[in-house]
Amino acid sequence: MLTQPSMAMASWTWGPPPTPGWGIPAFMDTLGANGAPTPLPCFKVSDGDCLTNTELGERARQLTEELKDINYDQINDAWGHAPEAANALKWTAEAVNAHQAAAHLALAHGDGALNEEVTIGFIDTGIHEDHETFDYVSVDEEFLPGAVDEAPYEPSHGTAVASVAVGNFVSLPPDSPDFNINVKMFAIPLGDGSGPYRLITLEQLSASDFGDAAEFNYVLSQDLDILNLSFGYQGGIENYSAQDLDKHYSRTIEALAQDGRPEKTILVWAAGNAGDRVNANSSSPQILSGLAARAEELQGHSIAVVSTREDGRISDFSNRCGIAADFCIAAPGEQVLVA
C-alpha cells in the first residue's frame, strides 16, 4: 500500500479537571484524595480495559501477530503456486508495518475503525476499471483534457499504481473492510520519461502555472481524503528557491495549499525516478514532490515517497529525500505485486 495508518503509543500530560458533564477521560479515576480526578498510568482500549504501557505494548504485539498470521494464510491460499508473488505481498506489508498499524488502530478505536470509508484519488494515465483486482472497490474514472481511454490489453501505469493501494490480491470477500474504499481516477496525458533529462526552466514553470492550478483546484474539489500523484516535472527541488517558486508557480502552490478547507486532502507524491538518469541529481525529490520543502503552506499535508526494495535499500532509480527529509518517507516501490 502506498499509505498506512500509524499510531504511536499513548503519552499524556496532566491538566485541570475536565469540565463537569463531559465525563472522565479514559485514563482518569473519578475518586481523587482532594475530590479531583486522579491520573492513572493506563490507557483505556476499545474493549474497556485500562492497560499500562507495558500491557498495551503486549496486547498490541499479540494482536499484530494474529493479524499477520491471518494475512499470511490468505496470501498462501491465493499465491501458494507463485512464491515470488506471495513473497512480494508479505515483505511489502512488513515494510510498512501494516499489521502493527491495524492492531493499534483496532485497540484504540475498535474493529469498526478498520471499516471507515476512504476516498482515494489518483492523477495518472487512467485505470482499467474492469480489472479483477478492483472487483469489490468503487472505481470512477474521469478524463481530463488530452487524456485517452487506455485499451484493456495495454499496460496502464495508473492501473498498476492504484492496485498497490487498493488491489484485492488475496481473494478477500466482498464485505471485507479493505474494500470500503472509493477510487477516483483523473486521467491525464503523461509521457514515458524517456529522452534526455532536462530541468524545467522557470519560464516553462510559469507558463504551466495557470493550467496546473486549474487542474489541481478541480481535482481537490472532489471530496478526496488522499490524492496520489505519481508524476512530475524533471528537475530536483534543490534547483529552485522558495522565491523563484513563489514568483513563477504561486497559483499552483496556492491550489495545493487548500487554504480555508477544514480537512485538507493529503497529497502523496512519488519522489521521482531520476536516480539512474544521466545528468540528473537525485539527492532530493523532484520539483513537484519536493514543494513542501520550499512552501510552508504545504507542510503538514504534502509528502514525497521514495522507493525501496526488499533489502530495505532505496531503489537505484529513485530520488532520495534530501532537503525534503521532513516531508518525505520511504515505501516499497520495487519488487512489488501490481495489476
pLDDT value, residue 1: 29
pLDDT value, residue 24: 32
Q: Residue 184 CA to chain centroid, in angstroms?
A: 15
Distance, in Å, from the CA atom of 81 to the CA atom of 66, rounded to the nearest integer, reads 24
pLDDT value, residue 3: 30
pLDDT value, residue 34: 62
pLDDT value, residue 30: 46
pLDDT value, residue 317: 97
CATH number of the 116-332 domain: 3.40.50.200
Task: Please calculate the CA angle 169-170-173 and round it to the nearest 5 degrees.
Answer: 110
Q: What is the mean pLDDT of each run of 10 residues along the chain (339 residues)?
A: 28 29 38 58 88 93 96 95 96 96 92 83 97 91 96 94 93 71 96 88 98 98 98 97 98 98 96 94 97 98 98 97 98 95
Exposure of 73 by Cβ count < 10 A (0-12 exposed, 13-18 middle, 19+ buried)? exposed
In the chain, ranges of CATH 3.40.50.200 domains: 116-332
Distance, in Å, from the CA atom of 231 to the CA atom of 215, rounded to the nearest integer, reads 14
Instruction: Provide CB contacts within 8 A for 292, sequence distance 6+.
Output: 298, 299, 302, 303, 304, 324, 327
State the pTM of this model: 0.84
Residue 271 cell numbers, joined: 519522489
pLDDT value, residue 27: 42
Q: Spell out the SS3 assignment of 253-291.
A: HHHHHCCCCCCCCEEEEECCCCCCCCCCCCCCCECCCCH
| DSSP track, 204-227 | HHHHHHHHHHHHHHHHTTS--SEE
